[in-house]
Amino acid sequence: MATLSELKADARKALLARDHEGALQLFREIHEQAPDDMRAWCKMAELMEKCGDVDGAVREYNAIAGRYANEGFVVQAIAISKIVLRLDPENRRASERLRELSRERGEEWSGDTDARRATVAFKETPLISGLSGEELQAFIGYLHPRMADDGEAIVRAGEAGDFLFLIGSGSVRLETVDAAGARKVVRRLEAGDFFGEHAFMARTAYQDDAIAEGHTVVLEIDRATFDQWCERHPSIQETVERFYRQRVLERVLATSDLFRGIPAEACTALTEHFRRRTFHDGACVVRQGEKGDSCFLIRSGVVSVTTEDFRRPGRVIDLGELREGAFFGEVALLNDKPRTATVTARGEVELMELTREDFRAIIDRFPQVLQTVEAYQRERVRSTIRKVTAS
């Protein structure tokens, strides 16, 4: 008899070869040996559908959704129930389950343990936690399920950001390319998390690849439907915008030259202290010679940097432009010296500002951040001197 690891290895090979019948048989055996492996069970049901056994797939998906619901995994139960209704729109078990999940909201489930689990699940799913039972039931109706295998891209950077995604089961990693051209994992997300909010809210292309880790089910909602919902339920948009601000800042920190190499927990701590600032085209962000007590990280847009030639008063030297992910004003974090350059917005610019006081609170916890900023500032001084002397 094959071991579980051997069965999984053979199943992966069958999937790569697109041998659905062979893969289905292997996943049946995996399910027999490991009935608590929910991802394998979901994959078995998916393969049953692909092999033409839709009734069998509905039966298994209903059993999976019931298991999730009984154990208090609300979002997973919703996601799998939506798959059932895609296959069988009149399925009473799935419809009733969704009504019950919406109606009870985890507060009157059978058994205290299940109730606690379900309540926690709703609270830890910020996209839906503020909806009443009736609102939740209606919102669920607009979500469309989508399945992805391990390593499959749910979205790619550059694609139009027309959908917002809620992870129903499985997990997703967000990948980007940093300033050095290396691929970097920005964030890992689990069931109940949502993603795609940056492009969705800004109405731009996705900036990151969203890659499934293991068999994953996501629930997607299109922008037109979301906009209609936000008109009636502003709390949903407020939730998405709050996560949008936090995650965009995390992404910028992850791709910034300055913060490359700083521990992830330090970057997370930094995000809590930045505040958002916007500047219109031509606005002066900082002026050379003025005192400063904060630095800036460019979240979006472009700024120009100039300095006066200390050898020829009145002559201005163009030091170039800075774009998303760039950092400036770091001298103000380290000492009380005046600003060494003038920074001007070129078009609409969105910045994140960090004060010296907040920076000091961070370096008390993470001394390596100070060392990194000091090294970055020394290199920038050398670069400025080279540009000035070459002009």
Query: What are the tens digits of pLDDT across the range 256-306?
Result: 766 766 777 777 777 778 888 899 999 999 999 999 889 898 878 899 999
61 and 121, same domain (yes or no): yes
Q: Does residue 23 lie in a domain region?
A: no
Q: How far apart are CA 30 and CA 37, in angstroms?
A: 8
Q: How far apart are CA 120 and CA 142, in angstroms?
A: 23
What are the tokens at 253? Answer: 């920190």
- Among 141, 173, 199, residue at a domain's last position: 141
What are the tokens at 154? Answer: 């749910």
Nearest residue to 64 via CA among 192, 170, 173, 189:
170
Q: Does residue 30 lie in a domain region?
A: no
Q: Enumerate residues 6+ apart whose C-beta is below 8 A from 35.
A: 41
- Bridge partner list, 212: 172
DSSP states of 169-225: EEEEEEEEE-TTS-EEEEEEEETT-EE-HHHHHHTSB--SEEEEEEEEEEEEEEHHH
235 and 285, same domain (yes or no): no
48 and 132, same domain (yes or no): yes
Q: Which residues of the chain have pLDDT under 70?
A: 103-134, 179, 202, 244-245, 248, 251, 254-255, 257-258, 260-261, 384-385, 387-391
Long-range contacts of 95-98 (CB under 8 A, 24+ apart): 97/65, 97/66, 97/69, 98/137, 98/140
Residue whose token pair is 């919406």: 102
CB 339 within 8 A of CB 290: yes
Nearest residue to 166 via CA among 103, 240, 114:
240
For residue 128, the model assigns a pLDDT of 66
Q: Does residue 245 lie in a domain region?
A: yes
For residue 253, the model assigns a pLDDT of 72
Q: Does residue 53 lie in a domain region?
A: yes
Q: Does residue 9 lie in a domain region?
A: no
For residue 118, the model assigns a pLDDT of 39
pTM listed for this prediction = 0.60
CB 44 within 8 A of CB 57: no
160 and 193, same domain (yes or no): yes
- Among 209, 224, 252, residue at a domain's last position: 252
Q: What is the CATH number of the domain that holds 220?
A: 2.60.120.10
195 and 81, same domain (yes or no): no
Residue type, 85: L
Number of residues that this document lists for the chain:
391
Give pLDDT tens digits for 205-230.
Answer: 888 999 999 999 999 989 888 888 77
DSSP states of 7-63: HHHHHHHHHHTT-HHHHHHHHHHHHHH-TT-HHHHHHHHHHHHHTT-HHHHHHHHHH
271 and 370, same domain (yes or no): yes
Angle separating helix axes 264-271 and 356-365, nearest 10 degrees: 150
The 3-state DSSP composition of the chain as helix, strand, coil percent (nearest 5) reads 50, 25, 25
- Among 141, 162, 178, residue at a domain's last position: 141
The count of domains in the chain is: 3
CA 137 to each of CA 75, 126, 133, 378: distance values in angstroms, whole numbers, following the listed order: 12, 16, 6, 57
209 and 100, same domain (yes or no): no
Q: How far apart are CA 202 and CA 170, in angstroms?
A: 27
Residue 271 lies in domain:
267-390
Q: Does residue 258 lie in a domain region?
A: no
Q: Does residue 71 lie in a domain region?
A: yes
299 and 197, same domain (yes or no): no
Count of CB atoms within 10 A of residue 104's CB? 18
Q: How far apart are CA 304 and CA 319, in angstroms?
A: 8
